[in-house]
Copies of this chain bind each other. A is one copy, B any other.
């Protein structure tokens, strides 16, 4: 874990430390503190040391499990007396100010989403609090260590097992009398496929975020997770993004399957999306911007006559999302592979996930997970691209 960028930020912004106030579902909190706790706690980073301020309940665990050099609890600053005199919220901010003072900190940087109430109550106590517009910890998190890469590879192989189980259900399905797909004598629904995906991941120790199994009309909406019967001759988007319960790292992959005969439009959606993904991967290497990679996708789609948000920011059909995003402790993190995307660095883990959407046709998306390298990328995804199964 290389925090030199954090030191540089503090130095350049003339700040004594970096402050987080969140529970460990905030990936930056978990990353900086190394402490997994369900309720909000405070982490103070200074170039000299990392300190945690927590409730009595978490005190013992924080001492043994976190990466902090120092652990304090509310009671270390007479919280109870302060609460009796000033009330809970005031007492908490008084304690926090004393905690900062103990570590000679009078000016802190914070992440963008630092809680406003905490910031204002520190400012009331003459502490300088400045939200870091670049979220330097998110920047640091974007570049993975070898150990983080190992965690993500492990997540991706569990993801591939879940995708195989989903593909098998669709491939084994048969066309029922009413045109719906049937498996084992029952209608094949998005819910059934999702349940199989979830069980496959659960058995491997992965938590179940939402999973997308969306066909027909629902598949045409990139954020509809899908529901109801899966139709024959319709593209089925399967997008899986599991998180390891042990390491908390994610993987992310999408494939689109179809049982039956694709229409000419769907077949062209799929072939063009394959080309768009290949063009994006061609572009990926350290030094190229996420915007460049996104442009490569837009070029392919626009040349093929499909609308994109680049061409028309109000379009609701065609390529209507970014090309990808970083993946790690968060399933969506830096860097962005979009018009806002800056320079890629070796060791960043990103998705490449072009797609086309049209309520009249359906939706198609293909997504790989790759690591950026100095001269290109390594694809962490080992899964075939086949529409008709």
In the complex, the answer to whether A320 meets B133 with C-beta atoms within 8 Å is no
Residues of chain B within 8 A of A56, CB atoms compared: 309, 313-314, 320
Residues of B within 8 A of A320 (CB): 56-57
The answer, yes or no, to whether A83 is at the interface (CB within 8 Å) is yes
Interface 1/0 per residue, A323-351 and B, CB below 8 Å: 00000000010000001100000000000
The answer to whether the Cβ of A385 comes within 8 Å of any Cβ in the partner chain is no
Contact of A149 with B by CB under 8 A: no
Contacts of A58 in B (CB 8 A): 223
Q: What CA separation (Å) do A80 and B339 show in the bound complex? A: 10
> Which residues of B have CB within 8 Å of A80?
313
Q: Evaluate contact between B115 and A120: CB separation under 8 angstroms.
A: no
Interface assignment of A207: CB less than 8 Å from any CB of chain B: yes
Docked CA distance A224–B57 (Å): 11
**Would you list which residues of chain A between 97 and 118 have a CB under 8 Å from chain B?**
110, 112-118
Chain B residues with Cβ under 8 A from A120's Cβ?
Answer: 131
Contact of A223 among B38, B114, B224 (CB under 8 A): B38
A186 within 8 A of B: no
CA distance A116 to B120 in the complex (A): 9
Tell me whether B223 and A57 are in contact (CB under 8 A).
yes
* Interface assignment of A267: CB less than 8 Å from any CB of chain B: no
A161-169, A176-184, A195-203: which lies at the B interface? A195-203
How would residues 43 to 74 of chain A score, 1 for a CB under 8 Å from any chain B CB and 0 otherwise?
Answer: 00000000000001111110000000000000
The reply to whether the CB of A282 lies closer than 8 angstroms to some CB of chain B is no
Interface presence of A139 (CB below 8 A): no
Nearest-CB residue, chain B, relative to A241? B38
Cβ of A39 within 8 Å of any chain B Cβ, yes or no, is: yes
Per the 8 Å Cβ criterion, residues 252-284 of A in contact with B are none
Q: Which of B61, B88, B202, B210 contacts A202 (CB 8 A)?
A: B202
Q: How many identical subunits does the complex contain?
A: 2
- Residues of B within 8 Å of A114, CB to CB, are 115-117
Encoded as 1 (CB less than 8 Å from any B CB) or 0, chain A from 300 to 313 comes to 00000000010001
Cα separation A38 to B321 with both chains bound (whole Å): 14
CB of A204, distance to nearest CB on chain B (Å): 11
Cross-interface CB contact of A208 among B60, B207, B316, cutoff 8 Å: B207
The distance from the CB of A131 to the nearest CB of chain B, in whole angstroms, is: 4
Specify which of A61, A116, A332 lies most central, judged by the most chain B CB atoms within 10 Å of its CB: A116
Q: Does A228 contact B (CB under 8 A)?
A: no
| Residues of chain A from 218 to 251 with CB closer than 8 A to chain B in the complex | 221-224
Given contacts A60-B221, A202-B208, A208-B202, contact A314 B75 (CB under 8 A): yes
Q: A61-B221, A195-B203 are in contact. List 18 more A-B contacts (CB 8 A).
A: A39-B332, A57-B321, A58-B223, A59-B316, A61-B223, A75-B313, A112-B116, A112-B118, A113-B115, A113-B117, A115-B131, A116-B119, A116-B131, A119-B119, A120-B131, A198-B202, A202-B202, A208-B208
Q: List 21 A-B contacts (CB under 8 A).
A: A37-B223, A38-B210, A39-B332, A56-B309, A60-B316, A61-B223, A61-B224, A75-B313, A79-B313, A83-B340, A112-B116, A114-B115, A114-B117, A115-B116, A116-B116, A116-B119, A116-B129, A116-B131, A117-B133, A195-B202, A199-B202
Write the residues of chain A forming the contact surface with B, with a CB cutoff of 8 angstroms: 37-39, 56-61, 75, 79-80, 83, 88-89, 110, 112-120, 129, 131, 133, 195, 198-199, 202-203, 207-208, 210, 221-224, 309, 313-314, 316, 320-321, 332, 339-340
